[in-house]
Structures are given as structure tokens and as C-alpha cells.
A and B are shown apart, each in its own frame.
Chain A
């Protein structure tokens, strides 16, 4: 099956710093990847759709300057939380549709961000 790797699995940073999270499709190409945010005991909220070679599409209410997304290759998308603050602390998860696209999404293991 398709494997999506996410790194780092957890990160602690100081307020005001930027943190980059990587999402890689290991055995397939992903022209599209999705980034979600999940608060404890809550659902996944789609933040943005990452498109290889073009700008990401952000969901309403998500600050594009705060959450920078880059999809530089067919196997890598990155989410950078800029000038992180404690309220940005959350669990961030990426996913990608497999190939061929059957509708199923393959998820990374998630990245837990704690901003002090």
C-alpha cells in the first residue's frame, strides 16, 4: 500500500520561531497533498490543499502567511508554521490520495507541535 511519511513526529519550540513539517509520499507520486490540524479529542480540520508546482489552496480562516505550504516535488510537501505561538500548538497531519486515485487517502503519522 501507499506510504506517507511525516517528520518530525513531535517538536517543541519557543514562541516566535518557525517550524517546518515535512510530508513525503514514499512509494508513489502525489501531485496533491492535504494538511490538517487536530485538537485533542476533536476531528481533523482541513487547513489547505498542497499542489505540486503551484500555490496551495487554503481553507477559509487559515492564514496563508502563517502556515506556509510548499510542494516542490511530486513526493514532498512542507508546512512551515511561521512565528509560532502557544495557540498554534496542535497535532498536524498530512495525507495524499494514492495512485490510481481510488478515493482513499493515505495519512502520515502526524506531527505534534508544542510552542512554549
Chain B
């Protein structure tokens, strides 16, 4: 069954603005991961944050994790039109247990 739930389901912003997406989950995890999917393509791994970490950065990406609230956020700063994609969080105890949320469809308007 699905574990992570993202919100919002869809987000439309102007180029240069920041985009924030949230993910909530229900059970214990070892790590939480964010993936990106361009329309009709496979998923690309963006960032992994472990359960004992609270924040992680990678380029224009910033991920936070609050295990007490069972939630995570993905912030994309200074967004670009090329950031237009669906973003999924995935949670689980191991690869066999990884479950994906419904995703946030981000549209960045040039």
C-alpha cells in the first residue's frame, strides 16, 4: 500500500520562485528519498535523507525531515522551467519495502 503522501498535488509557479513540496508518511522508516519524474519517463533519484538526519542540501535542493511528525519537505530554490516534473517521496525500511507517494506535479512557467 502507498505510504508517503505528498502535498500539494499540483503546484504552479513562476521561474525564479521557490517551490516547496511536502510529504507525510505513516510508519517507521530508515530513510526518506525524493525522486523526480519527467512526463513519460523513469524516475531519477534526487536526494536521500536518513532517519537520524534533519536537513540535507544538494545544489538548489533542500530537504528536511521531522520524524516526530512523520513528514518531510523538499524545497527547490530559484526554480527553472526545466524543473517542471512530478516529484515523489519514497519511504521504507529497505529497498524491498519502498513505497511512493502520489507525487506533486510542479509546473514552472518561464
Contact = CB atoms under 8 A, between A and B. Distances in A.
- Our verdict on whether A and B bind, yes or no, reads yes
Nearest to A109: B42
Interface residues of B, number: 24
Contacts of A77: none
Contact of B100 (A41, A43, A104): A43
Contact of A49 (B35, B44, B96): B96
Q: Is the interface of A mostly helix, strand, loop or mixed?
A: strand
Contacts of B31: 103
B25 interface: no
Interface string B40-79: 1111110010000000000000000000000000000000
Interface of B: 2, 30-31, 33, 35, 40-45, 48, 88, 90, 94-96, 98-103, 105
Interface of A: 4, 6, 32, 34, 36, 41-46, 49, 57, 91, 93, 95, 97, 101-110, 112
